[in-house]
Amino acid sequence: MSQLVSQYQRPVYNAAYRILGNKDDAADTTQTVFLKVFEHIVDYDPKFKFFSWVYRIAINESLNQVKKRRNQEPLADNQESPWQSPAEVLDSKHLCKRVQEALMTLNVDYRSVVVLKHISGCSYQQISEILQLPVKTVKSRLYTARQLLKKTLQNDGSD
Amino acid sequence: MKEQNNIHQPPVDQHAYELMNAAIDGELGPAEQAELNKLLAESDELQDFDAELRSFVRLLNDVPERAPPEYLQQAIERQIRLPVPKNKQTRGKAISSPLNPKNWLRTGLALAAGIVLTVGIYEMGSGPITSRDASNLTGTIIDKPGSSQGELLDSVHIYTDTLQGAVELRSRGDLFSLDVNVKSEGLAKVVVNIAGRGLEFEGITNGQDFDNDVAVSDDLINVVSEGAQSYSLLLRQTPGSQPVTPLELEFFANDTLVQAAELGGSR
């Protein structure tokens, strides 16, 4: 069991962090995810990949957390640093922060797809299973989200 | 969302944009790839946009992973009551806790109502349990013992490709129960070794349609089920004996051993 936690806590934490934008919320959500995994392990359908099932719980828990704090101040640990220059987006140590800030401007439906694709490295089919959406919708959301993110980062860089 | 929809249109043809994205993600078939190559060959503007998009997607892929806080794994494991690592367990040692008779008294009192309900329902729902013959399938089916869950003493989870589930060891006054929830694609077999443990098989409970085969001997309890099943194996202290832990369990999927575990070891 310890092995399962070791294997999945990092990807689950990273997915939660990129959706929530806050490390404490991500840690709390990760704990909740594993509790749910073990509580509902008999509900796991072996037709699907185990990691898809775990990710589905992770994404749903993260989205629940987003809903809970919708009216709270976002990005508590990501607001301290203003944009510096467009060039920095590409290769500086601020990359992570810039992308995270841009991610947080996206609607959570778009954000979830981007996180699963670019942070978790899932294929379209896997994202489709995790989010229980048609592949066509996954593609549409991903492509739109990329365009939105690109514009956000470009706009930030030109400020 | 409305505002986002207003700005999301790409500055190139929508179909070409979709092809470029799919190509970058490695999800384009040969025919579509050929179509994209043709479009790119015909347009410098598309080539520039494609290069820009590739660079941007690389940037997204290069976002580094964040290390979870160091406390996280331990916090998770504490919450889900992981089985005790084998090197911390005491095999065959007379128990001091939680199956210690002194603790039975305490928990027994606390669970008095549950015990009465458990035994009462058991007696209403079944005849006497007599067989200890290993060669026969002799499981006695009794009703689910009401709402009495008993005190959780230990648990183990199974998460293999072919068998998933959990088993909880609970104290129910003068009885112990192994509450089994398993799900398998084919046949699932749970084997409990009670040899020399000072415990006897008392019965098996189930609140749903029962579809298990149960074989009991002095040493082993075998339960075979199919699909998703929940049941409880009830164990009683052998008169004149002290219960000994841990209990050894083996889990088989389609006759293949997939996991072994011990329950009730000292922590």
Q: Could you tell me which residue, A110 or B175, shows the higher pLDDT?
A: A110
Its domain, for residue A93, covers 2-158
- pLDDT at residue B149 is higher than 70: no
User: pLDDT at position A71, please?
Assistant: 52
User: pLDDT at position B8, please?
Assistant: 61
User: pLDDT at position B119, please?
Assistant: 29
Confidence of residue B83 (pLDDT cuts 50, 70, 90): very low
Q: Which chain A residues are Cβ-neighbours of B80 within 8 angstroms? A: 1, 5, 34-35, 38
Name the maximum alpha-carbon separation found in chain B.
91
Q: Considering CB atoms only, which of B18, B62, B76 is closest to A139?
A: B18
- Of B118-122, B142-146, B185-189, B260-264, the range with the lowest mean pLDDT is B118-122
Which residue from A11, A118, A23, A24 is spatially nearest to A55, judged by alpha carbons? A11
Q: Is the dihedral of CA A141, A147, A151, A153 positive or negative?
A: positive
Give yes or no for a contact between B66 and A17, defined as CB atoms under 8 angstroms apart: yes
Residue A102, Cβ neighbours under 10 Å: how many? 22
Q: Within the 90-129 window of chain B, which residues sit less than 8 Å (CB to CB) from chain A?
A: none
Mind telling me how many Å the CA of B241 is from chain A's nearest CA? 33
Cα angle: A29, vertex A30, A34; to 5 degrees = 115
Whether B7 contacts chain A with CB within 8 A: yes
User: pLDDT at position A130, please?
Assistant: 93
> In this complex, do A146 and B53 lie within 8 Å of one another by their Cβ atoms?
yes
CA A54 to chain centre: 14
Q: Which chain A residues are Cβ-neighbours of B160 within 8 angstroms? A: none
Which residue from B226, B230, B222, B228 is spatially nearest to B251, judged by alpha carbons? B222
Residue A2, Cβ neighbours under 10 Å: how many? 14
Q: Considering CB atoms only, which of A10, A117, A147 is closest to B68?
A: A10
Give yes or no for a contact between B261 and B242, defined as CB atoms under 8 angstroms apart: no
The percent of residues in chain B predicted with pLDDT above 70, rounded, is 67
The percent of residues in chain B predicted with pLDDT above 90, rounded, is 20
Whether B80 contacts chain A with CB within 8 A: yes
CA nearest A110 in B: which residue? Answer: B1
> In this complex, do A1 and B7 lie within 8 Å of one another by their Cβ atoms?
no
Cα angle: A150, vertex A141, A99; to 5 degrees = 35
Find the distance separating the first CA and the last CA of chain B, reported in whole Å: 52
- Of A77-81, A136-140, B130-134, B221-225, the range with the lowest mean pLDDT is B130-134
Mind telling me how many Å the CA of B72 is from chain A's nearest CA? 7
In this structure, what CATH number is given to the domain that contains residue A20?
1.20.140.160
C-alpha–C-alpha distance, residues A36 and A159, integer Å: 44
> In this complex, do A38 and B157 lie within 8 Å of one another by their Cβ atoms?
yes
> In this complex, do A42 and B162 lie within 8 Å of one another by their Cβ atoms?
no
Number of domains in chain A: 1
**How far, in Å, are B8, B69, B146, B174 from residue B237 at the CA level?**
70, 45, 21, 7
Query: Tell me: the pLDDT tens digits for A30-68?
Result: 999 999 988 888 788 888 888 899 999 999 999 998 888
- pLDDT at residue B12 is higher than 90: no
Mean pLDDT calculated for residue range B69-73? 90
User: pLDDT at position A76, please?
Assistant: 43
Mind telling me how many Å the CA of A148 is from chain B's nearest CA? 6
Q: Which chain A residues are Cβ-neighbours of B66 within 8 angstroms? A: 13-14, 17, 23
Identify the burial level of B235 via C-beta atoms within 10 angstroms of its C-beta, where 0-12 means exposed, 13-18 middle and 19 or more buried. buried
Mind telling me how many Å the CA of A39 is from chain B's nearest CA? 9
User: pLDDT at position B35, please?
Assistant: 95
Torsion over CA of A19, A21, A24 and A28, rounded to 10 degrees? -10
User: pLDDT at position A39, please?
Assistant: 84
Query: Tell me: the pLDDT tens digits for A2-16?
Result: 778 888 999 999 999
Which pairing describes strands B175-193 and B199-205: parallel, antiparallel, or unpaired? unpaired
Whether B246 contacts chain A with CB within 8 A: no
Q: Which domains does chain B have, with CATH numbers?
A: 2-61 (no CATH), 96-263 (2.60.40)
Q: Could you tell me which residue, B47 or B1, shows the higher pLDDT?
A: B47
Q: Could you tell me which residue, B107 or A92, shows the higher pLDDT?
A: A92
CA nearest A35 in B: which residue? Answer: B80
CA nearest B2 in A: which residue? Answer: A107
Tokens of B49: 């946009």
- Of A89-98, A120-129, B199-208, the range with the lowest mean pLDDT is A89-98
> In this complex, do B18 and A143 lie within 8 Å of one another by their Cβ atoms?
yes
Residue B218 CB contacts under 8 Å (≥ 6 apart), including other chains: B132, B134, B194, B195
Mind telling me how many Å the CA of A72 is from chain B's nearest CA? 19
Q: Which chain A residues are Cβ-neighbours of B188 within 8 angstroms? A: none
- pLDDT at residue B144 is higher than 90: no
